[in-house]
Structure formats: structure tokens, C-alpha cells
Amino acid sequence: MPRVALVTGGTRGIGAAISKALKAAGYAVAANYAGNDEAANAFKAETGIPVFKWSVADYDACVAGIRQVEAELGPVDILVNNAGITRDAMFHRMTPAQWREVIDTNLNGVFNMTHPVWNGMRERKFGRIIQISSINGQKGQAGQANYSAAKAGDIGFTKALAQEGARLGITVNVIAPGYIATEMVKAIDEKVLNERILPLIPVGRLGLPEEIARAVVFLASEEAAFITGATLAINGGQYMA
Ligand SMILES: NC(=O)c1ccc[n+]([C@@H]2O[C@H](COP(=O)([O-])OP(=O)(O)OC[C@H]3O[C@@H](n4cnc5c(N)ncnc54)[C@H](OP(=O)(O)O)[C@@H]3O)[C@@H](O)[C@H]2O)c1
């Protein structure tokens, strides 16, 4: 039986590339999403990967959703916490709602998804938990106090949990992507992209979703058993922590 991998936000952008790469590597993959049924159905039709709709910001919904995934595919051995949102604003204009929404999805969502699968991984003495954080959680970014706080929180969470899982065969790691060519980033004005963003990236281009996905497949593998608590920067040299 193939191991089961669950990818949050796994139907679009980086998450879709991760879902596809894990399937190609032989895992039984489940892709979660929040609300864009059209994108999720198109993804399912294209890939044959089953999709499951719930918000990672809602703990009870995560428990119920994971139960459904496990009933259909089997126990979750690999969890990729990829779902994320932005609600950018300079801090003097940031509303409590913008703060809360980002923390609820990008940080509390990681707790909400990891907590229900943790005991099963402990019992089976195997698990791979991979957070998709961000370069902006490492270096901070003006206009993203909420996002930077949540993504830095994901890194702290990972380092703590890695210590708890280490003797139980569970690794916990973070990937911190830089600018990746998803719809969100491709929507940036071409002049801004060419004159203000690309000059910051020594490699001279945006990253590809597949370049993040490849690293996830590696961290999910048996061979990556000695890597835990690590933050893997995939940012074209833009920030070297
Ligand atoms: N793109 C970049 O350059 C970049 C750089 C650094 C880090 N990241 C991080 O990488 C991850 C993926 O980013 P992306 O650019 O691929 O994003 P994206 O294209 O906007 O896709 C986001 C995915 O997350 C899902 N999602 C959002 N809120 C959710 C919730 N509450 N519950 C469940 N699923 C939810 C979305 O579902 P729906 O389709 O239903 O909306 C969608 O599938 C995020 O954590 C982001 O912060 C991205």
C-alpha cells in the first residue's frame, strides 16, 4: 500500500505542483482546498487526485476532513501544510480582521492540521510534516506584518515539534520559498517585476512551483530521515539566513 500524503491548498499554485509531484513519486495523495470549487474540480479532472474541501482555519473542520481522507485513503503519513493567504497592508492601516485572517490560516491552520494527525504518526512511528513558510517569515517584509509573523511562527513551531517527533520516526521541516511564478506573482505589473523584484534575485528569475515540489518529495522520502527541524530556503539566493 502506498503511503498517504495530504496537501493543504493542494489544488492550485505551489500546492497543486506538490500534489502532482507526490503522486508521480508513488504516494496516494489527497488535496485539500478552501472554496474555489472550479479550480479544484479542474485539478481533479486533470490529475485524478481526490479533492477535499474545508478551511484549515477551523479546527473541527480539520478533524472531520482528515477523518474523511483517512476513511477513503488510509492514515496520513505525510502532511504538507501549504495553504496560505495574504492580506497585505502597511501596519498603520492593518485592520484586526486582516491580522486575524492571516494568523488563523497561515499559523493556526498549521496547528489545526498537524494536531489531529500527530498521535497516529506517533503510534505508527513514522511521519513527515512539511510546512510551506516564506522568505518573508525569515527576513520580514513591509506591508506584511501579519504574514511575516505567521510564517516565522511556522518556523518556530517546526523546530519545537521536530524535537518531540525525533525519536518516533517523525520529521518536521519547513520550506521557505522566495518569489515563485504562481498566478499571484505573475499578476504583478511587468515593470515592477522587471525593475524592482528580479534585481533582488541573484539567480535572475522567479522560482517554479515544481522546484518547491521537488524538495517536498525529497523531505517526504525515507532517505530524508536524518533531516528534521530544518528550514530549507528556496529563493534563488535572495536571502541567505
Ligand atoms: N507564490 C509565492 O511566491 C510564495 C512565496 C512564498 C511562500 N508562498 C506560500 O506558499 C503557499 C502556497 O502559495 P500559492 O502562491 O501557491 O497560493 P495560491 O495559488 O493562492 O493557492 C492557495 C491554496 O491554498 C488554499 N487555501 C487558502 N486558504 C485556505 C484555507 N483556509 N483552508 C484550506 N485551503 C486554503 C486555496 O484554496 P482555494 O483554491 O479554494 O482558494 C489554494 O488551493 C502559501 O502558504 C504561501 O504563503 C508562496
> Would you say the CB of residue 82 lies under 6 angstroms from ligand 1?
yes
Cell of 114: 498537524
What confidence category does residue 138 fall into, taking pLDDT thresholds of 50, 70 and 90? very high
Atom of ligand 1 nearest to the CA of 36: 40
What pLDDT does residue 189 have?
87
Give pLDDT, residue 95.
98
The region of weakest confidence among 61-65, 105-109, 133-137, 181-185 is: 181-185
pLDDT in tens, 56-96: 999 999 999 999 999 999 999 999 999 999 999 999 999 99
| pTM for this entry | 0.98
Nearest to 114 by CA among 174, 71, 167: 174
More confident residue, 44 or 193: 44
57 Cα nearest atom in ligand 1: 31
pLDDT digits (tens, 9 = 90+) for 21-48: 999 999 999 999 999 999 999 999 999 9
**Which pLDDT tens digit goes with each residue over 92-111?**
999 999 999 999 999 999 99
Q: How far away, in angstroms, is 90 Cα from ligand 1 center?
A: 21
In this model, does residue 184 exceed pLDDT 90? no
Examine the residue annotation and report whether 147 is marked as an active-site residue of this protein. Answer: yes
Q: C-alpha 193: how far from its chain's center?
A: 24
CA 1/CA 84 separation, integer angstroms: 30
- Residue 142 above 80 pLDDT? yes
Strand extents, DSSP E, the chain: 4-7, 28-33, 51-53, 76-81, 127-132, 170-177, 231-234
103 CB burial (10 A radius; 0-12, 13-18, 19+):
middle
Q: Which residues pair with residue 30 across a beta bridge?
A: 6
Q: What is the pLDDT of residue 218?
A: 98
Ligand 1 within 6 A of CB of 33: yes
Do 206 and 181 meet the contact criterion of CB atoms below 8 Å apart?
yes
Percent of the chain with pLDDT over 90: 95
- Tell me: pLDDT of 192 over 90: no
Query: Which pLDDT does position 203 carry in this prediction?
Result: 98
What is the residue with the minimal CA distance to atom 1 of ligand 1?
A: 180
Give the pLDDT confidence score for residue 185 in this predicted structure. 82
State the closest ligand 1 atom to the C-alpha of 10, by its place in the atom list counted from 1: 43
Question: Is a pLDDT exceeding 80 seen at residue 52?
Answer: yes
Average pLDDT, the chain: 97
Is 32 touching ligand 1 by the criterion CB < 6 Å? yes
Is the CB of residue 6 less than 8 Å from the CB of residue 80?
A: yes
| Whether the Cβ atoms of residue 16 and residue 43 lie closer than 8 Å to each other | yes
User: CA–CA separation, 24 vs 186, rounded Å?
Assistant: 26
